A = this chain, B = another copy of it.
Amino acid sequence: MNTIINPSKKDWTKILERPTKTVDDIEGIVNEVFIDIQQNGDTAVAKYTVKFDGVSLENTIVSGEEIKEAINLVSNDLKEAINVAKENITKFHAAQKTKKVFVETTNGVECWQEKRPISKVGLYIPGGTAPLFSTVLMLAIPAQIAGCKEVVLCSPPNKEGKIHPAILYAANLCGVTKIIKVGGIQAIAGFTFGTETTPQVYKIFGPGNQFVTVAKQIATKHGVAIDMPAGPSELLVVADDSANASFVASDLLSQAEHGADSQVILVSTSEKLITEVEKEIKLQLAQLSRVEIAQKAIDNSKSIFVKNDEIALDLINEYGPEHFIVCTNNNDFYVDNIENAGSVFIGNYTPESAGDYASGTNHTLPTNGFSKSYSGVNLDSFTKSITFQKISKEGIKSIGKSIELMAAAEGLDAHKNAVSIRLKDLK
């Protein structure tokens, strides 16, 4: 890690700069796949599955048989663990339900706001070495609680034409209505336009590589919403002498193993702790299976010493970390005043991986500083609010004149007339 002592505020932007990727060069490929799938549906999907996943499938819809097989393949221990996680995630997301907001703003003018589920949602789960069944839980559980009618999951097939059993097990457990063996750009294009097998959806959720990220951006141009813009995962830890250096090191490493471009930052008011954590990182790093990836991420990462908690907080709000661990003598100060963060982990016994799997909070969080304006995925991500108003004769008599005056001042005659014609009728 690169240690920086008391940086001056004007250098913060530079210091906090994230590893950037340019995506312009892959937009061409993505657009090409999109157009092909829009025009040729499943035929085109099959072509790209051969090309990108190296497998040719007769049927891409996961059958009941395959799900049964998957259920048998997942160990009882892992099933039990998934059930614990499911229970906690369900409790936390069900608690996020909100009641109808009802206000009679003026006598006879009733206004209310209700949340209704997004009818059709698409969940994308990447393939590759790590089968992200935890992401299935994080997306399918709130979709089910929200009441989404169609919850479609796409995930790429492996060379044997299969999806990892843990993914199928979790999807089946959490009420996914359809599972399709298709990955990458072609999955996102399928969600966007609909094909013979993939239904068109209104919103797409889930992580993915650069191609998936760009495909999701392109999907928005075609009128489909997405959960949030994606970037490499990040962790910022603020810790002082009250923190356990080996715990802090383990948390920084758990973030670093995600990818060489993962961003890991330690902010501290204790130079002693910084030294200890760096020592611990070296010790622990050697023992990890993904040591090379983690080493690269750590090499690009920073330990920042600052004089006091106020400066630390300022710097953290400027950065807006996806994951934010607070381990100090002054935790409440940070918790009360943090403005920009995806999820906050408090105290020595709250590792970030708890939130990744089983505490109950969602692990789909805003990266790349998007915590300044975006929420992580939560129950509301699967709903939209609709407003309603019902005005009585008395109500329109009360507010009618104001509407007429404002519409006239904006030069919108017909808006005014819609009120005048009613007021005249009531005379």
Contact = CB atoms under 8 A, between A and B. Distances in A.
A4 B106 CA distance: 39
B399 A84 contact: yes
A417 B369 contact: no
A202 B371 CA distance: 10
B92 A96 contact: no
Contacts of A105: 87-88, 91-92, 359-360
B401 A370 contact: no
Interface string A352-390: 111111111110001011111111101010001111111
Interface in A329-367: 335, 338-362, 366
B417 A111 contact: no
A275 interface: no
Q: What is the copy number of this chain in the assembly?
A: 2
A409 B370 contact: no
A346 B412 CA distance: 22
A129 B257 CA distance: 57
A212 to B, nearest CB: 17
Contacts of A366: 384
A289 interface: yes
A101 B404 CA distance: 42
Given A81-B402, A88-B109, A351-B422, A388 B133 contact: no
Contacts of A353: 403, 407, 412, 415-416, 418-419
Contacts of A421: 246-247, 250, 284
Contacts of A258: 412
Given A96-B101, A247-B422, A415-B353, A361 B343 contact: no
Contacts of A111: 88, 92, 359-361
Given A343-B387, A370-B225, A417 B288 contact: yes
A390 B346 contact: yes
Among A92, A247, A362, the one with the most B-chain Cβ atoms within 10 Å of its Cβ is A92
A314 B185 CA distance: 31
A119 B376 contact: no
Interface string A16-48: 000000000000000000000000000000000
